[in-house]
Amino acid sequence: MRLLGEAGVDAMSMPTDPTHFGGSIELARRVRRHCDVPLMRKEFFRSVHQMDESLEAGFDAVQLSLGTVSDPELFAALRSRAEQIGLEVVVGAHGKEQLLRAIELGAGVIGLNNRDITALELDGGTVSESESLIPMVPDGVLVISESSMLTSADVVRAAQAGADGVLIGTAVARSADPVGWLRSLRGLAECSR
């Protein structure tokens, strides 16, 4: 984890779902001990208690996905509690309908997923979802293009589309030199804007 921080990442994301992603809160606590950058929790949130659990485990942010938290009342309660206790809220969206809802909710940060998390899609797609939807996002709203970043060309495409950041998982895990690869990406993304 420290090496990724030294590679220049601004933040890290960690899924805590044990069934589909092999994560856990205990693993998150261990990661936090070795991670100096902000840490965002990704989870299939079902309870307001999970916001307090996130803070206690050392997370700085949570991603509330409109695809997995479809009940508006639960979404509002999760968001309210997270903001109340000082967690940054990233509103996750996939597709035009969810993006428009995130904008309507006044999201300050939107995680625009290039794949459908509810279908448990693997990173095999492209950043075309971000390219087509980012132009709809109002000025002042930060956009993180998530998933389907398998090559440096994908990162450049997301940056050129207007993404303020990218969330990369699979490609980092598969890289023989994750630190070197991440360092090279940082320069490419900044030069492509």
DSSP codes joined into one string, 49-108: HHHHHHHHHT-SEEEEETTT---HHHHHHHHHHHHHTT-EEEEEE-HHHHHHHHHHTT-S
CA 13 to chain centre: 6
Residue 42's pLDDT band (boundaries 50, 70, 90)? very high
The domains of the chain are located at 2-191
More confident residue, 161 or 125: 161
Query: Per residue in 45-75, pLDDT tens?
Result: 999 999 999 999 999 999 999 999 989 999 9
For strand 12-15 and strand 165-167, is the pairing parallel, antiparallel, or unpaired?
A: unpaired
Query: Per residue in 71-85, pLDDT tens?
Result: 999 999 999 999 999
pLDDT greater than 50 at residue 123: no
Residues 6+ apart with CB under 8 A from 27: 14, 16
pLDDT value at position 189? 52
pLDDT value at position 98? 96
Edge-to-edge strand list for the sheet holding 12-15? 12-15, 39-42, 61-65, 88-93, 109-113, 142-146, 165-167
Query: Per residue in 98-120, pLDDT tens?
Result: 999 999 999 999 999 998 766 65
pTM here is 0.90
Residue 21's pLDDT band (boundaries 50, 70, 90)? confident
Query: Which one, of 121, 120, 126, 127, lies nearest residue 144 by Cα?
Result: 127
For domain 2-191, give the fold. TIM Barrel (3.20.20)
pLDDT value at position 176? 85
Q: What's the average model confidence in pLDDT over 17-26? A: 90
Classified as helix, coil or strand, 15 is strand
